Amino acid sequence: MYISKAFIPILKNNPSEAKIKSHQLMLRVGMIKQSSAGIYSWLPMGFKIMKKIEKIVREEQNKIGAQEILMPTIQSSEIWKESGRYEDYGEEMLRIKDRQNREMLYGPTNEELVTDIFRSSVKSYKSLPQLLYHIQWKFRDEIRPRFGIMRCREFYMKDAYSFDITDEEALFSYNKFFLAYLKTFKRLDLTAIPMAADTGPIGGNLSHEFIILAETGESKIYTDKRIFDLDSEGTKLDKKSLEELRKKYEKFYSVTDEKFNKNEFEKKVSETNRLKTKGIEVGHIFYFGDKYSKPMGASVDLPEGKKDFVKMGSYGIGVSRLVGAIIEAKYDDKNEVMKWPISVAPYDLSIIPMINKNDTSVLKKANQINLELEKNGIETIIDDTEENLSSKIKKMNLIGVPYQIIIGKQTDGDLLEFKEIGKEAKKINLSEIIKIIKEQKTKN
């Protein structure tokens, strides 16, 4: 893709209305455009990145046996009246009337709708467990939408729902998502820590928020630093391994402020390991038993012939919020350098030819290199403008493509100037470059 043809409307300066770096960068590079308060259009760069995040989220859901569905954004109020949440949800719910005067709403979450789908089709314990998910826009009429797509009104969420017959089986499902979340965030090159959390309007008594550290985050957290050394490496998908994984994390005190207890914190965590800081909630999982299945009558036949209400959990990831969260974690705003993890980068590599009006040879060379890279599945963007090198580099530093090849008139033979963004350049040949990038891509 030539940069002259790409729809990347870069601004010269940081927009003054943006208070945090992710919001600044997203507007500056033209990843999003606000259409009204808390509602955004996604432009090619932002959309590309979000779609790559979505793909990773989807792959990790599929790996634990969750099945993808797609529920609508608009729901009927009936099912929310059945569960008892229609009144409770309050002003955050966008309520709509259709031409027949029927009460509809733009879904803020889907516990009711998925329970309705489940109860109409699943009748026996033999079909359990069921893990269903979808990736769909949500609307919450936030009182103060802020920080761009971090806390907005319309946002893109992956929400999954589990159905089981016993508490024990339901916790097995819960733990599968616990693992899937750790793996998903790791593939996005984020360290997201599971923290015991409140359940708010979703309900239940077991819940973890997955939080990445960021000064600009809205969640206050209290944690034991040692939790950052843990990972899910080697965890298998059986009951015992998953339980051990969760226990391994729960051994270290780690909570959001609603769950904070000063005495407990000071008793369980030595002074040197205490960390009180802020973070961004990128995922949230809940176990709430029969909170929805009971009032909505979602039951199945049990082996002994009796019936019981299914035990449910729900599991959310803020797919659109993750775009901002990765920026908060990776953008060096002092030097104005962004580096997207290769797993979600809008392009793998940028080609920066030093182009002179009357000489097309450098651009020709860039095109040849590009052809070779494309053959190897490496996606590139070519800066075909006639700007000088330093402004081209500055622009690419904002766009955040992780690797660069710089081609000058002097470039001859096989050696190319290759650079990982923000680092020193080195001279290597194209096949080595291809090898490095392919390796990085397959690691993920």
Binding site for ligand P5A (CB under 6 A): 109, 140, 142, 151-152, 155, 157, 159, 202, 281-284, 286, 314-316, 318, 321
* Token couple for 124: 């026996």
Cβ 342 to ligand P5A shortest distance, Å: 23
Q: Which residue is nearest to ligand P5A (CB)?
A: 318
Q: Are the CB atoms for 250 and 207 separated by under 8 Å? A: no
- Helical ranges in 269-415 per DSSP H: 293-296, 319-330, 361-375, 389-399
Cβ 343 to ligand P5A shortest distance, Å: 18
Measured CA to CA, the distance from residue 382 to residue 246 in angstroms comes to 46
CA diameter of the chain: 85
| Residue whose CB is less far from ligand P5A, 187 or 395 | 187
Token pair 């100037």 is found at 417
Cβ 81 to ligand P5A shortest distance, Å: 18
Q: CB under 8 Å to 262, separation ≥6 — which residues?
A: none
| Residue whose CB is less far from ligand P5A, 281 or 384 | 281
Measured CA to CA, the distance from residue 391 to residue 300 in angstroms comes to 64
| Residue whose CB is less far from ligand P5A, 172 or 286 | 286
Measured CA to CA, the distance from residue 309 to residue 119 in angstroms comes to 10
Cβ 281 to ligand P5A shortest distance, Å: 5
| Residue whose CB is less far from ligand P5A, 207 or 380 | 207
- Other Cβ atoms less than 10 A from the Cβ of 159: the count is 22
Q: Cβ-count burial of 9 within 10 angstroms (0-12 exposed, 13-18 middle, 19+ buried)? A: middle
| Residue whose CB is less far from ligand P5A, 149 or 433 | 149
- The distance from CA 123 to its chain's CA centroid, rounded to whole angstroms, is 34
| Residue whose CB is less far from ligand P5A, 217 or 346 | 217
Cβ 222 to ligand P5A shortest distance, Å: 19
Q: Are the CB atoms for 55 and 65 separated by under 8 Å? A: no
Cβ 318 to ligand P5A shortest distance, Å: 2
**DSSP-based three-state secondary structure for 354:** coil
Cβ 30 to ligand P5A shortest distance, Å: 20
| Residue whose CB is less far from ligand P5A, 313 or 400 | 313
